Amino acid sequence: MNSNDHATELAFRPNASPADHNASVPSHSAAEAARRHISLVEQRALSNRGWRGTWMLFRRELARFMRVAGQTIVSPVLTTMLWFVVFGYSLGSRLEEIQGVPYVDFLVPGLIMLNLINNAFLNTGFSLFISKVHGSVVDILLTPLTPIQLIVGYIAASLLRAMIIGCLIWLVAGIMGASTLHNPAFTLLFMVLTSTAFALFGLTVAILAEDFDHINLFPAFLLMPLTFLGGVFYSIDMLPGPWDTLSLANPILYMVNGLRYGMTGVSDVPVGLGLLLVATSVAVFGAAAYYLLSTGKKLRE
């Protein structure tokens, strides 16, 4: 293992001893060690061996949320299934069908989208912000990982968490009688793109945030209201004017209906527009996260 790989590995080993860190550089001269370290940082953008560090960052993030799986995975699934039972069966007996789809089936995509958005955002947002608070983000920035490699490590773990929760809800809803297999390939594509977009959004917010209130602001006062007003429990055709028209300005509406189309074949808005919106969100939030990581704004200040 060369010095680049060894330094990367040490940066993600929380139990590494001082002797381990000293072993990654020659011991004959502190000045020489400093020069080697500076050279390592300068070359990280050109290094193709940083993907080993990306894998280790992903494993660290995976272990972080799996250690508390009861809170990060089991709790959202159980809570969502309570929503499914209360709204699906209580309102389902009255509404019966929406756009020719049983209300129970109509409800599932909205509940899954609600969880994808919240969990993808919170996983990257809180993880990176806590690293900033504890000061450990400096260790990550000094590893030979490029901004792209850092983004991939964080986003992959966040995407995995969101997809595990979304697929579990999808599976349990199917066991409980929901029929949501209209186009599984399109459904999975939309789930992945949406989760990636909000994981990147969470990463961007975490870099800019200065306290926990900034992190909580977006899910509590932006994402949650927009999601609930985005057609999770109803079709916008059921709204009186002008609320049905105003709802078209809500970007979450297009995401919910894109997933609903993949699961049930019905949508209140053009599906292509929803797919374009999600893809654009990935590009915009990805560019913002890359810029902030490459310039070090709010991280090295």
CA-closest candidate to residue 192, choices 67, 274, 260, 282: 282
Stronger pLDDT, 266 or 2, i.e. the higher one: 266
Our count of domains for the chain comes to 2
**The pLDDT of residue 95 is above 80:** no
Quick: pLDDT tens for 184-209: 999 999 999 999 999 999 999 999 99
Is the pLDDT at 86 greater than 80? The verdict is yes
Tell whether pTM > 0.85: no
Q: Provide the residue range defining the domain that includes 212.
A: 49-295
Residue 300 in any domain: the answer is: no
For residue 40, name the pLDDT band (cuts at 50, 70, 90): low
pLDDT at 297: 81
The string of pLDDT tens digits covering residues 150-160 is 999 999 999 99
Q: Is 128 inside a domain boundary?
A: yes
Please report whether residue 97 resides in a domain: yes
Give pLDDT, residue 224: 84
In terms of C-beta density within 10 A (0-12 exposed, 13-18 middle, 19 or more buried), how is residue 64 classed? middle
Of the residues 42, 58, 73, the one at which a domain ends: 42
The residues, any chain, with a CB within 8 Å of residue 197's CB and separated by 6 or more, are 120, 278, 281, 282, 285
Strands (E), 66-191: 97-98, 101-102
CB 184 within 8 Å of CB 109: no
Same domain for 220 and 97, yes or no, is yes
Helix (H, G, I), strand (E, B), or coil: what is residue 268?
coil
Residue 22's pLDDT is what? Answer: 46
301 part of a folded domain: no
Mean pLDDT of 61-89: 91
Mean pLDDT of the 226-242 span:
87
CA distances for 123 relative to 60, 103, 111, 184, angstroms: 13, 31, 18, 25
Nearest Cα neighbor of 291 from 200, 215, 209 is: 200
Q: Are residue 103 and residue 27 in the same domain, yes or no?
A: no
Q: Identify the CA nearest to 268 among candidates 241, 239, 297, 289.
A: 239
Q: Is 216 within the bounds of a domain?
A: yes
Query: Taking 60 as the threshold, does the pLDDT of residue 45 lie above it?
Result: no
Separation between Cα atoms, residue 1 and residue 7, nearest integer Å? 10
Residue 211 is predicted with a pLDDT of 84
Q: Which two tokens stand for residue 27?
A: 């011991």
Closest CA to 228 of 76, 118, 122: 118
What is the residue type of 9? Answer: E
Same domain flag for 59 and 126: yes
User: How far is residue 73's CA from residue 51's CA, in Å, rounded to a whole number?
Assistant: 27
What residue has token string 């994981």?
Answer: 199
DSSP state of 240: P
DSSP label of 97: E
First to last CA, the chain: 33
Residues 78 and 113 in one domain: yes
